[in-house]
Structure 1
């Protein structure tokens, strides 16, 4: 799930669906409440220990904790790779993302029925919004803590929705490469500290990571519930908007790639399209394995 969530166009929720624990994941996240957290924190008291164990079971922490550790490990590894490739092979990296995103929109879109005017309008609206954001319609300051908290909330809330990638939203907001670099710098600084280095190098990237995680935690517990409610009340319209958002986001990696080249020539367009084909083929392969993506 962590690897999927760290790559634009591929959803960690889809992996959970594929491996058969999606319902358990959603149920466990929904069970996280301030009351249960307080009960667990009182577990040091022998009289409250049985209630604390009950809260641990209700939140299914025996499942969530190892899952979370695995996801964090994967995200750290992928972030390091993205940071290196964005400097050394940007056309290949973002071309690969183009294929992932474009084909994700295709395989998800064919599962929907754009029959009514509301669904069609929602799909077109999502595509136009994403296309505009990818082209710089909204410029987000990558160093602002409020912005980092916001994108953390939005992207992490997408984690539990099959078909919608949180890293895709980061790419759409222009934060993907920046945050990957900050995470890589934070991990490197921690390793240096363990080797006797200074703590000063940890502060800046560490602050960014902590704020992002805090925003993500809030997003998972709140925004995700809002999206799930929208799916329950207006499923067709909401899914059409989400798929439209994915389709319009194809522009984002193209813009990112363009920022790393001196104009579009045959020497740059060719590799971009070649890696897009590889990324698209990967999504088609996963789609085949799953037996058809469902964005529910």
Structure 2
């Protein structure tokens, strides 16, 4: 459910929540296991064997939880973004900052190479967060491409798939296709998502198996760089029209708290502390459960 809630907000990634809760590598492995081999197992050994091969119960629980969260929490989160943006962004800032600390602690023997991967991930995520928007023509090829890139971003911590769609100028196109039930457009987009996640999950799984600490350092960098997007005090550079025809912030630039008319510093610090503390409370509870 937490992954679903995270993916609702552009700039927050469900991959961050998966890393935090310790299920990231299992999730990548389960996604990677889905493929043509699954069909062979289904044919030769039946549904039960194929279901176990892809860790079906685990994937189903993730999908069900995320879908439930999106249905139940999307309106609440969007309401908070509009009415209490500083409090909400401060909470997520604290949550992701603590997640960076948590994941970095899993990397043993930090050296110059691993620090370089951390720096690379930080720079890439920060540049993506601050990038000006591009506008792609809504063709079948661009929809396929957008799907393949956005789904990869969704399983990377610190990089939001919905934000990537915004940067590509495809967010409103995809949302419009969903609303009008444009089967052709949705088919190309879904095809891109399927190909993207099948290929990328295999690459990521291989990296985690063979270069675990370097990969974790890179993922830590992605989350660290994403803090630029989550900074609570922002200046709106440009707006976009949402599905309701309203003008909402699109490209924003971080500013100092005192440059904002009502910085709400006390509220922001409180929300940040709550978000930061939640990570280590969750870690404590998970360790006790084990």
TM (norm. structure 1) is 0.67
Whether the 8 Å contact between 1:148 and 1:208 is mirrored in structure 2 is no
State the secondary structure of the residue aligned to 1:226: helix
2:133 to 131, 134, 139: 139
Whether the 8 Å contact between 1:157 and 1:216 is mirrored in structure 2 is no
Shift >6 Å, 4+ stretches? 178-186, 206-210
Distance, in Å, in 2 between the alignment partners of 1:248 and 1:126 is 7
Structure 1 residue 215 displacement after superposition: 3.9
Deviates more, 1:125-134 or 1:217-226: 217-226
State the secondary structure of the residue aligned to 1:267: coil
- Select the structure with the greater relative contact order (CA < 8 A; seq sep ≥ 6): 1
Partner residue, 1:277: 273
Indicate how the Cα distance of structure 1 residues 100 and 244 shifts in structure 2: closer, same or farther if over 3 A, else same: same
Are residue 155 (structure 1) and residue 150 (structure 2) matched? Answer: no
Partner residue, 1:223: 200
Which has the larger share of strand? Answer: 2
Partner residue, 1:11: 17
Structure 1 residue 153 displacement after superposition: 2.3
Are residue 202 (structure 1) and residue 180 (structure 2) matched? Answer: yes
Partner residue, 2:284: 288
RMSD: 4.1
Whether the 8 Å contact between 2:129 and 2:226 is mirrored in structure 1 is yes
Whether the 8 Å contact between 1:79 and 1:180 is mirrored in structure 2 is no
1:268 to 263, 266, 285: 263
TM (norm. structure 2) is 0.68
Distance, in Å, in 1 between the alignment partners of 2:216 and 2:108 is 10
Structure 1 residue 69 displacement after superposition: 2.7
**Structure 1 residues 169-219: Cα deviation after superposition (integer angstroms, max 9, x where no partner):** 33763749x999999988xx8xxxxxxxxxxx4336x88876665444334
Structure 1 residue 66 displacement after superposition: 5.0
Indicate how the Cα distance of structure 1 residues 276 and 170 shifts in structure 2: closer, same or farther if over 3 A, else same: farther
Partner residue, 1:72: 67
- Structure 1 unaligned regions, length at least 5: 41-47, 159-163, 190-200
Which has the larger share of helix? Answer: 1
Distance, in Å, in 2 between the alignment partners of 1:82 and 1:183 is 20
Indicate how the Cα distance of structure 1 residues 173 and 51 shifts in structure 2: closer, same or farther if over 3 A, else same: closer
**Structure 1 residues 130-178: Cα deviation after superposition (integer angstroms, max 9, x where no partner):** 1222222x635487635631343213433xxxxx36xx433763749x9
Alignment of 1:59-138 (within 5 A): 59-61=54-56, 64-113=59-108, 115-136=110-131
How many residues were matched structurally? 257
Distance, in Å, in 1 between the alignment partners of 2:186 and 2:234 is 25
Indicate how the Cα distance of structure 1 residues 224 and 59 shifts in structure 2: closer, same or farther if over 3 A, else same: closer
Whether the 8 Å contact between 1:133 and 1:172 is mirrored in structure 2 is no
Indicate how the Cα distance of structure 1 residues 230 and 72 shifts in structure 2: closer, same or farther if over 3 A, else same: same
**Structure 1 residues 29-83: Cα deviation after superposition (integer angstroms, max 9, x where no partner):** 343222533775xxxxxxx696455434533545544542333222333333333
Distance, in Å, in 1 between the alignment partners of 2:162 and 2:51 is 35
State the secondary structure of the residue aligned to 1:258: strand
Are residue 237 (structure 1) and residue 214 (structure 2) matched? Answer: yes
State the secondary structure of the residue aligned to 2:110: coil
Deviates more, 1:52-61 or 1:243-252: 52-61
**Structure 1 residues 1-53: Cα deviation after superposition (integer angstroms, max 9, x where no partner):** x32353236423543649xxx74x5554343222533775xxxxxxx696455
- Structure 2 unaligned regions, length at least 5: 7-11, 237-248
Distance, in Å, in 1 between the alignment partners of 2:197 and 2:285 is 28
